[in-house]
Amino acid sequence: MPHDLNYYLATLAVYFLIYCVLTLGLNITFGMAGIFDFSYITFMAIGAYFAGVAVLPPSNVPGLQWILGLNLGFPIDLLIGALAAGVFGLLIGLVAIRRIRSDYLAMVLVAVWTITWSVTSTTIGLFNGQQGLIGVPQPFEAQLGVNPNDYVFVFIPIAAAALAILFAIAYCVERSPFGRALRATREDQDVAAAFGKRTVRLRLTAMVIGCVYAGVAGALTIEFLSAMSPNAWAIIETVIIFSALIVGGRGNVFGAVLGALLVRILIIEGTGLLPTLPDHPELIGATRNILIGLLVIVVLYFRPQGVIPERRRRYFESRKPAADPSSEVTKGG
């Protein structure tokens, strides 16, 4: 195979691995706990920025300013990014996750995105404002001394290892008593509380876990691309991750992975192959997003459970063989 194609496919593989981390995290927050985390992409950005300033040296050039600058290496920066996203998620969750209507929660979280985005864009001293962080050293870049064109092959195992760990955790969470409790709060908070579940704490935990996943995805993104700016985390990115999870099938890890494959690789890369019109460079991106929006509406209408549905769990099968098959998720969080 020609080197170009290899390179392209390898880059695609990295994007896919990182996107799986994003959908797996949202699967815990939204798929299992039913929390409308409409600021999900914010936590990806927090993870990316904090991982970036953990690796970068202190800023001393005018026009390039950021906080910290710890000069640390991989994988400490990734952990810092994940931790920062988790802490930020905890703070937001403590305020937002209360016994209020789910659309109020969603409104607060949209506001969280807007505020974080505008503060990050306008405050130069934080993460270099609108321009964002650039020139972030890649993991093992200096030690290995590989050709920049071959670096992607170094990064695939890194991203794959991170995904393997996070996939295993997500798989265990789904089958654990904790996962069961999350699904119970998603279906009906009052009933779950009546059975002695501490619903607010459960939902808060689910939100923080999701944020940590997003933080890891962000850290991997900035480590791979060496850059992160506010343009990369517009609010529509959150909608696209939701779309991936809904299309793939929320509430189960395989649906989350399939969603990443269908939306991130098939649609986003597929539309990238369309011919560009020289006068309208934004047309491809717009077409792609319109397609994603239409897809999520069609899927929610005709197959709301997604391509791979969540397995309906039945606990009293011997006594009640004909459990209501039509009962679906009725209450959002």
Partner 1 sequence: MELFFNSIGFGLVTASILALAAVGLTLQFGMTNYVNFAYGDFMTLGAYLTWTLNVRLGWPFWPALLVGALLMAIPVLLISRFVLEPFAKRSGPTFHILIVTFAVSLILSNLILAIWGGDFQNFNVGEDAPVNIGPFLLSIQQLGIIGLAAVCMVAIHLLLTRTKLGKAMRAISDDKNLAAVTGIPTQRVTTIVWVLSGMLAGLAGGVLALNVSSFDPNVGVTFLFVIFAAVVFGGIGRPYGAMVGALVIGLVVEVSAVFIPSAYKLDVAFLVLVGVLLVRPDGIMSLLARG
Q: Specify whether the CB–CB gap between 22 and 169 falls below 8 A.
A: no
DSSP 8-state class, residue 33: T
Min CB(122)–partner 1 separation in Å:
5
Comparing CB distances to partner 1, the nearer of 25 and 230 is 230
CA separation for the pair 256, 298 (Å, rounded)? 18
* Dihedral sign, Cα of residue 142, residue 143, residue 148, residue 151: negative
Min CB(330)–partner 1 separation in Å:
6
Min CB(327)–partner 1 separation in Å:
9
Q: Specify whether the CB–CB gap between 48 and 56 falls below 8 A.
A: no
**Which residues contact partner 1 (rule: CB under 8 A)?**
34, 36, 38, 95-96, 98, 100-104, 106-108, 110-112, 114-115, 118-119, 122, 235-236, 239-240, 242-243, 246, 280, 282-283, 285-287, 289-290, 292-294, 296-297, 300-301, 304, 328-332
Asked whether the bond before 278 is cis by omega within 30 degrees of 0, the reply is no
Longest dimension (CA), the chain: 72
Return the bridge partners of 280, or none. 277
Q: Six-digit token pair at 261?
A: 């494959």
Comparing CB distances to partner 1, the nearer of 241 and 257 is 241
Comparing CB distances to partner 1, the nearer of 71 and 114 is 114
Min CB(261)–partner 1 separation in Å:
20
CA separation for the pair 74, 72 (Å, rounded)? 7
Comparing CB distances to partner 1, the nearer of 31 and 81 is 31
Comparing CB distances to partner 1, the nearer of 139 and 210 is 210
CA separation for the pair 333, 296 (Å, rounded)? 20
Min CB(331)–partner 1 separation in Å:
7
CA separation for the pair 213, 219 (Å, rounded)? 10
Min CB(147)–partner 1 separation in Å:
35
CA separation for the pair 47, 177 (Å, rounded)? 28
Nearest to 16 by CA among 219, 264, 269: 264
Comparing CB distances to partner 1, the nearer of 318 and 330 is 330
Min CB(92)–partner 1 separation in Å:
10
As a three-state string, the secondary structure of 45-69 is HHHHHHHHHHHCCCCCECCECECCC
